[in-house]
Chain A
Amino acid sequence: MNIEATALSKKYGHISAVSDISFSIAAGEFVGLVGPNGAGKSTTIKMLTGQLIPSAGCVNICGVDMTKEPNVGRQELGYVPEFPELYNYLSAREMISFVAEIRGRGDIEWALELTGLGDDADRLIREYSQGMRRKTAIACAIVARPKVLILDEALNGLDPPSVERVLGALDEVRKEGTSIVLSTHVLDTLEKLATRIIMLKDGKIEHDCLPSELSIIRKQFQ
């Protein structure tokens, strides 16, 4: 399993953001993480990526315990946060090259091509629109072809053609064996590509089902 979350919980004082959730994600799986606002999606993702220390339980990414060795685990992890931060004084090409350099590997042209940044790759990021910044963050996440890719609301702010392009890129890396977790509110997106849906509610797993059962989740949202 590329991702293994076991009895994961996160508490802030008496407030429980995530309670005792467990799941595993295999190579080549595309998992949609859905749920209403405040369901615990972002907290779960932050624990998966080692950004937040769980109050209980553990997370393994490709066999590495993220609570103990987040820096090692990130070697095989690409992550796009909800609000990606980038070096504004670099161009997208320089930013992606930098990521490839610190990761020790990476196909820069492939990442640029896949995310459709080609023509704008040499402009400084500070001149970019929100959508282009997000595409740059996605390119940074995939450039080293990690075994696990986690995206938190990564499609927000993208125009429909860009969404199509990015989804196409994600599908391509999934077919190469990458495990993908995409947190989103747009259920239609998942219908096309996801191989599994996990719905969180009040910090717990409400449903863990196939995309064909999305209608149940839609009803929950309504």
Chain B
Amino acid sequence: MPNPYWTLVNKERKRSEKTWTNIVLLVVAIALAPFSKDTLLYFLDNTAQTISGIEGLAFRLSALVGAAVALTSYQQIIRTSEREVLGSHPIQPKLWFSALFRKTFLHTWIWPWMCSALAWPMLLHNLYAEFGVLCLVNLIGWLSMLCIGYLVHLGSVWVARSETSALLLDAIRGNNPREQAAFIYAPGFALFFCGLLMMLCSFSIDGVLKLHPPAFIFFVLPLLVGVISLFFAHRLSESQLVPASAVLAEVDARWAVLDETQHESAVYLEWLASDRKEFLRALRQGWRGLRIWPMGIWGFGLFAFVSALGGDLRVAMFFSSLGAVGGCTIGVVLSRYNPLWLDEQLNVQGRELFWARFWVCFLYAQGAIIPIVFFMLGPEFIRVAIVEVCVLIAAGISAYLSVYQRKHGLLFFLPAALFLIFLGLL
């Protein structure tokens, strides 16, 4: 009997508007790779550092793919919008799980190739085997994180529902509803675990290239763990996939109660808006509707800070630039939550909207830059200044597209942002 949920996925794919975002990003990554020689591919001109450079690069790229997949799998299995449609009907959990997994697979399969594309100049230096192994590491990172992510997210539903874990969740939840704590920490745990596995995998590249058998064990270890995780995730889906809807309803209802009692001044940066209405509206939308963006930018700032603290300013600049320029995407995203008819009804001028979103982008981006400023005083400060200039340009482009190119803004912005990220790293 065909899987009815998978039939739906196929129909959705056939009938949805084709998006070229992934292909465009792949092409842009290929085009920009030669410019990343001083940052990502610095080892090409230094033969003594070649292998350690490749291992480090493989670890960073695979961790990046893993992080993106962890967030996507959470979105696909826990926060999937299908819950709203299917919630009123009996669900066959294992069939639905299978369809969701395959959907995430199809949605993300190009990501490891995008990351690998950033390293293609290795081929110009005759590092064919090394490049092949780096591609394999990215593929392993993607596939293992896909499987581990599904297990961890379903496991978080089990933890959220478990009476025995209530005390622990209460201890770590802060202001969040108890059940939310399980969902907050699950991706972090998945990332940490995957990071450890990918570290073992990446740093076994040298051994793999020298055909040392023990190195192969570490190399494929994430994949083995991934396969085992998928097996258990499939089994866990039977008991946890459906009840997750009730847990989410609980979390959302509690958030609604918290929101009702939340004071106006709790909006991030609201004190800067004073009497500028559009700026205030954009800040409120950004904080209340798209909180993951400013928090994500802080996350990049944290990574940058930790890297700078460890003395690796190059990596610190990478995270800072990625978080700050990438974070400017929020300008384009804001327009999706703010329909044209509403702006017309409110008689909002395009210029007002532009400046409101420009400032939101620019100010949010500082969350990824400020944490490393202290480490970049002196001659290094010029590098921070360059990133700031890139952020100004990105904020301007994002705000412009959000006002004058609402429909395809994201498609135009992402390549520009990638270019600016690399420009900031030069």
Which chain B residues border A86 with CB–CB below 8 Å?
85
A/B interface sample: 16 pairs, CB < 8 A: A15-B257, A52-B246, A70-B242, A70-B246, A71-B242, A81-B87, A87-B8, A87-B85, A89-B12, A98-B4, A99-B89, A102-B4, A103-B89, A103-B90, A140-B89, A141-B88
Shortest CB-to-CB span from A52 to chain B, Å, is 5
Q: Is the CB of B11 within 8 A of A75?
A: no
Contact with B along A50-75 (1 / 0, CB 8 A): 11110000000000000000111011
Which chain B residues border A81 with CB–CB below 8 Å?
87-88
Q: Is the CB of B246 within 8 A of A53?
A: yes
Q: Is the CB of B88 within 8 A of A74?
A: yes
Q: Is the CB of B89 within 8 A of A101?
A: no
- Chain B residue at minimum C-beta to C-beta distance from A43: B253
Which chain A residues border B81 with CB–CB below 8 Å?
85
CB-CB under 8 A for A53 and B250, given A85-B81, A89-B11, A89-B12: yes
Which chain B residues border A71 with CB–CB below 8 Å?
90-91, 93, 242
Shortest CB-to-CB span from B205 to chain A, Å, is 43
In this complex, the member of B88, B242, B243 whose beta carbon has the largest number of chain A beta carbons within 10 angstroms is B88
Cβ of B16 < 8 Å from any Cβ of A? yes
Q: Which residues of chain A (1-51) have a CB below 8 Å from chain B?
A: 12-13, 15, 46, 49-51
Shortest CB-to-CB span from B369 to chain A, Å, is 38
**Which of the residues B15, B87, B88 comes within 8 Å of A89, measured between beta carbons?**
B15
Interface size on B, residues (CB 8 A): 28
Contact with A along B224-266 (1 / 0, CB 8 A): 0000000000000000001101110110011001000000000
Q: Is the CB of B253 within 8 A of A12?
A: yes
CA distance A94 to B15 in the complex (A): 13
Q: A12-B254, A53-B250, A80-B88 are in contact. List 13 more A-B contacts (CB 8 A).
A: A12-B257, A50-B246, A51-B249, A52-B249, A74-B89, A75-B90, A89-B12, A90-B8, A90-B11, A94-B11, A102-B4, A102-B90, A102-B92
**Which of the residues B16, B84, B88, B250 comes within 8 Å of A52, measured between beta carbons?**
B250
Q: Is the CB of A51 within 8 A of B246?
A: yes
- Chain A residue at minimum C-beta to C-beta distance from B14: A89
Which chain A residues border B15 with CB–CB below 8 Å?
89, 124
Q: How many A-B residue pairs have CB under 8 A?
A: 70
Which chain A residues border B245 with CB–CB below 8 Å?
51
Q: Is the CB of B93 within 8 A of A51?
A: no
Shortest CB-to-CB span from A139 to chain B, Å, is 13
Instruction: Report, as a range, how many residues of chain A touch the other chain.
Output: 20 to 34
CA distance A81 to B88 in the complex (A): 8
Q: Is the CB of A79 within 8 A of B246?
A: no
CA distance A74 to B90 in the complex (A): 5
Q: Is the CB of B11 within 8 A of A51?
A: no
Shortest CB-to-CB span from B15 to chain A, Å, is 4
Which chain B residues border A101 with CB–CB below 8 Å?
4
Contact with B along A109-126 (1 / 0, CB 8 A): 000000000000000100
Which chain B residues border A141 with CB–CB below 8 Å?
88
CA distance A140 to B93 in the complex (A): 20
Shortest CB-to-CB span from B175 to chain A, Å, is 12
Which are the 8 A-B pairs with shortest beta-carbon distances?
A: A85-B84, A79-B88, A89-B15, A74-B90, A12-B257, A85-B85, A71-B242, A101-B4
Which chain A residues border B242 with CB–CB below 8 Å?
70-71
CB-CB under 8 A for A102 and B11, given A13-B257, A85-B85: no
Which chain A residues border B243 with CB–CB below 8 Å?
70
Shortest CB-to-CB span from B86 to chain A, Å, is 8
Q: Is the CB of B89 within 8 A of A102?
A: yes
CA distance A85 to B83 in the complex (A): 9
Shortest CB-to-CB span from A14 to chain B, Å, is 9
**Which of the residues A12, A46, A72 comes within 8 Å of B90, measured between beta carbons?**
A72
CA distance A80 to B89 in the complex (A): 10
Which chain B residues border A80 with CB–CB below 8 Å?
88
- Chain B residue at minimum C-beta to C-beta distance from A10: B253
CA distance A70 to B81 in the complex (A): 19
CA distance A99 to B250 in the complex (A): 26
